[in-house]
Amino acid sequence: MRARAQDTAFADALADRWHSLAVHLLRAVRREDVKAGLTGPRLSALSVVVFTGPLTLSELAAAEQVKPPTMTRLVQALEREGLVRRVGDPDDRRIVRVRATPRGQAVLAQGRARRVARLATPMAHLDPTEQDTLRRAADIIGRVVASLP
């Protein structure tokens, strides 16, 4: 059994490393987003709308971990560009449902392809063992991140 101090130091080093990796990964990927003609947050929100289907504005804000006023503005921008449509709910007229237009779906598919390709290309060249390590690590990191308050 390792001493507690050593465990902590090891975990600190891991945490530091992963933080740094996240920063660099995102910086690299974000450059690609620009080419889609959409900023990161807009592309990300559009992605949720496309894949999760019509959502209320609040649901979308929660999914993107953003406050409602911020999402209002993102949706306005997406709507101005014709990528998304706001549909009122007949039963509860306070509610705004957001759904992707066909053009929104197309733009997302392209932007996503570009963005993912940037990471996917080097990942496709890893050997199968390494790919498997990444798959398992993703689950672990996913749990760690999900556990954060």
Partner DNA sequence: GCCAATTAGTTAGCACTGCTAACAATACTG
Partner DNA sequence: CAGTATTGTTAGCAGTGCTAACTAATTGGC
Interacting residues toward a copy of itself by CB under 8 A: 7-8, 10-12, 14-19, 21-29, 44, 65, 112, 115-124, 126, 130-131, 133-138, 140-145, 147-148
Contact between 101 and DNA (CB under 7 A)?
A: no
By beta-carbon proximity to DNA, the closer residue of 96 and 141 is 96
Contact between 80 and DNA (CB under 7 A)?
A: no
* Spatial distance between the Cα atoms of 96 and 103, rounded to a whole number of angstroms: 20
Q: CB-based burial of residue 104 (10 Å sphere; 0-12 exposed, 13-18 middle, 19+ buried)?
A: buried
Q: CB-based burial of residue 81 (10 Å sphere; 0-12 exposed, 13-18 middle, 19+ buried)?
A: middle
Residue 7 gets the label, from left (phi > 0), alpha (psi -120 to 50) or beta, of alpha
Q: Which of 73, 82, 130, 133 binds DNA (CB under 7 A)?
A: 73
Which of the choices a copy of itself, DNA, none does residue 54 contact, using the CB cut-off of 5 to 8 A by kind? none
Q: Which of 2, 94, 135, 143 binds DNA (CB under 7 A)?
A: 94
Which of the choices DNA, a copy of itself, none does residue 110 contact, using the CB cut-off of 5 to 8 A by kind? none
Q: What is the CB neighbour count within 10 angstroms for residue 74?
A: 23
Q: How far is the CB of 112 from DNA (least distance, A)?
A: 16
Which of the choices a copy of itself, DNA, none does residue 25 contact, using the CB cut-off of 5 to 8 A by kind? a copy of itself
| Range 87-103 burial, b when 16+ CB lie within 10 A, else e | eeeeeeeeebbbebbee
Q: Tokens representing 124? A: 């496709």
By beta-carbon proximity to a copy of itself, the closer residue of 5 and 94 is 5
